[in-house]
Amino acid sequence: MNDKIESQEKLSDSPIIQIIEMHKWFGDFHVLRDINLSVNKGERIVICGPSGSGKSTLIRCINRLEEHQRGRIIVDNIELTNDIKNVEKIRAEVGMVFQHFNLFPHLTILDNLTLGPIWVRKTPRAKAEDMAMYYLEKVHIAEQAKKFPGQLSGGQQQRVAIARSLCMKPKVMLFDEPTSALDPEMVKEVLDVMIQLAQEGMTMLVVSHEMGFARSVAHRVLFMDFGQILEQNTPKEFFSNPQHERSKLFLSQILH
Amino acid sequence: METATISVAATEEIKPPLTGIGVIGWARKNLFSGKFNTVLTLLILFALVKTVPPFIRWAFVDSLWSSESQACKEAAGACWSVVTNNFRFILFGFYPYDQQWRPILAIALLVAFVIYSHSRRRWNKNLLIAWPLGLALMGIIMHGGIFFLPEVETEKWSGISLTLLLAIFGLSAAYPLGVILALGRRSRLPAIKALSVVYIELIRGVPLISMLFMASVMLPLFLPEGITIDKILRAQVAIILFTAAYIAEVVRGGLQAIPRGQYEAAEALGLSYYQKMRLIVLPQALKTVIPPTVSILISAFKDTSLVVIIGLFDLLKTTHVTLSNPDWMGFSNEAYIFTAMIYFVGCFFMSNFSRRLEAQLKT
Ligand SMILES: Nc1ncnc2c1ncn2[C@@H]1O[C@H](COP(=O)(O)OP(=O)(O)O)[C@@H](O)[C@H]1O
Ligand SMILES: [Mg+2]
């Protein structure tokens, strides 16, 4: 808790992500309704809410894995439009960690990590490999560098996936339920890596139901339902004193 | 690594039961397990006893290997003389007799390239450049007209050189074209998608023979007066266009098997479409479709023999011509067995190569 408060003071107030009156539909289905969200540099946000409420879709709009149809999304001072060059620029600055890891199974761990730096950032291979080893050590998995993803456990794969994103030196990290596909005994090793990342001041948007994680690192918790952000508050306030009917119901369900 | 010591100790103590090993154990397990299998084994043994010895007698014991055709007519066994006496015509057809070292050299070059490229460890940029250069060199050797080599027009290219030419160029051009068509068919751009679909479905709805006819008979009618396109080239293009459509469909299957998460992870890193396909999607997709792709390549190799119907003299046609010589009429078994073996070597090599490639790429 103390760590958090300490870094909170350093929060810069220039927003790195700005979402303004954003709507999205899948066909006729109105999946995101009037989303307004501003994320400052260094801020850490945990997004929770029932399944199907649009959490994944929201963070996937931020790196345009999904397209929004109304409103504006501005990331790192670039507005997301159909301009594919801008989209690629933003994607290079925004790391994403998926529920199912999505490592590249035909490449070694090391090659998974160096791919982005070499091809997107045009980093020389030797330098990219040094950086990859640095981040692999950081997620405590350097000895697996020559293996293929299929030879690793789920928790190890997810840590590799985090390291793969970090190799791009992203300004923002998006996490879509990073621990929900893991066996219970592996959840902690991944959360520990994420907590460490938080302590270093990374800007993070995390879709997660890990309440302990939210309590210890988040500045803000967003509660989503029916494609809307129904409530946002500090974790302390949100967990002890939820305002909205739906949040109360949701919390009572996941806490038991 | 820590567990290794434990398992070594355990395996030393327990040995397999004796009946499970050795020749008897093997036969009992694989040939005589149960009544039905025993009957089947005996039946097959009977059939082999009835057919193999007579075939060996015909092919090797009573056979003639280098006689005149007259001697053959009286022999009881196979007359391999039909092959040995017409060897050079079957293989090289109408290529000028005193220049036939050139196709031999070209084929030797090709075989050397293929053997060198067999191992995946040798695949690199230099090899990728060497291949087109090598193929061009083979073409120059065959065609001549420069240096001290007299020119040999393509009409005279025949026999195995023609078969290999059609096959190698046909397959190596059809494969990339097929991959591009498969990507086109899954493109988000409607025009490209429609074009690919129409092309693939049109070609797949037409037999190769009719495409060869169109290329050889109809195409010249549409060309302006005075412009002719080489006949072999036209057949070659028909084979490429035809094979590419089938490869496209197989590759599309491979592309569909790649989970969406792979595309998304590649996009999330900021890779461009081209990088995503080249580095992430195609390596995985092409690997999963190696077996059906090789099936298509093998049948395309054999289908090159259809060019006889537009008057090209490939390996099968030169064999056929040999047999129309009154001296050698009636020895078609021997001649076609020989030709079949040549095709078999080519096909066996391809399927063997694909199996090794699959094993090497396994992760
Ligand atoms: N590609 C898609 N096409 C159509 N509907 C979708 C698609 N992706 C998600 N949905 C729907 O949108 C809603 C929100 O999905 P999602 O953002 O994944 O929810 P969450 O992550 O909160 O569980 C769900 O009802 C889901 O079925
Ligand atoms: Mg989700």
Task: For residue range A113-158, list pLDDT tens digits in order.
Answer: 999 999 999 999 999 999 999 999 999 999 999 999 999 999 999 9
Distance CA B313, CA B306 (A): 10
Indicate whether residue A51 lines ligand 1 (CB < 6 A).
yes
The pTM of the full predicted model, rounded to 2 decimals, is: 0.84
Helix (H) / strand (E) element for A126: namely: helix A125-138
pLDDT band with cut points at 50, 70 and 90 for residue A214? very high
DSSP state of A70: E
What is the percent of chain A with per-residue pLDDT over 90, rounded to a whole number?
92
CB B296 within 8 A of CB B243: yes
Mean pLDDT of A106-117: 96
Calculate how close chain A gets to B361, using CA atoms only, in Å: 8
> Is A256 a residue whose pLDDT tops 70?
no
Indicate whether residue A26 lines ligand 1 (CB < 6 A).
yes
**Contact yes or no for B284 and A106 at CB 8 A:** yes
User: What pLDDT sits at residue B21?
Assistant: 67
Ligand 1: distance of its center to the CA of A116 in Å? 28
Mutate to test the pocket of ligand 1, among A23, A24, A56 (most ligand atoms within 8 A of CB): A56
pLDDT < 70 stretches in chain B: 1-12, 16-21, 363
**Measuring CA to CA, which residue among A181, A221, A226 is closest to residue A52?**
A226
User: Considering only CB atoms, which chain A residues are within 8 Å of B268?
Assistant: 63, 65, 91, 94-96, 165
User: What pLDDT sits at residue B18?
Assistant: 65
pLDDT band with cut points at 50, 70 and 90 for residue A202? very high
User: Considering only CB atoms, which chain A residues are within 8 Å of B2?
Assistant: none
Q: In DSSP terms, which residues pair with A176 in a beta bridge?
A: A207
Question: At the topology level of CATH, where does B152-361 sit?
Answer: MetI-like fold (1.10.3720)
The per-residue pLDDT for range A28-59, each reduced to its tens digit, is: 999 999 999 999 999 999 999 999 999 999 99
The per-residue pLDDT for range B256-311, each reduced to its tens digit, is: 999 999 999 999 999 999 999 999 999 999 999 989 998 998 998 888 889 888 88
User: What pLDDT sits at residue B12?
Assistant: 64
Instruction: State both tokens at B319.
Output: 């064999």
User: What pLDDT sits at residue B8?
Assistant: 52
Distance CA A205, CA A75 (A): 13
User: What pLDDT sits at residue B17?
Assistant: 67
Ligand 1: distance of its center to the CA of A24 in Å? 11
User: Considering only CB atoms, which chain A residues are within 8 Å of B284?
Assistant: 104-106
How large is the greatest C-alpha to C-alpha distance in chain B, in angstroms? 86
Distance CA B310, CA B214 (A): 10
Ligand 2: distance of its center to the CA of A56 in Å? 4
Helix (H) / strand (E) element for A133: namely: helix A125-138
User: What pLDDT sits at residue A10?
Assistant: 52
- What integer best gives the mean pLDDT of chain A? 92
Indicate whether residue A53 lines ligand 1 (CB < 6 A).
yes
User: Considering only CB atoms, which chain B residues are within 8 Å of A104?
Assistant: 262, 265-266, 280, 284
> Is A11 a residue whose pLDDT tops 70?
no
Phi-psi region of B224 (alpha: psi -120 to 50; beta: other; left: phi over 0): beta
CB A76 within 8 A of CB A93: yes
**Cα A232 vs. chain centroid, distance in angstroms?**
17
User: What pLDDT sits at residue B11?
Assistant: 54
User: What pLDDT sits at residue B331?
Assistant: 83
CB B342 within 8 A of CB B160: yes
- Maximum average pLDDT range among A93-97, A239-243, A249-253, B59-63: A93-97
Distance CA A209, CA B209 (A): 63
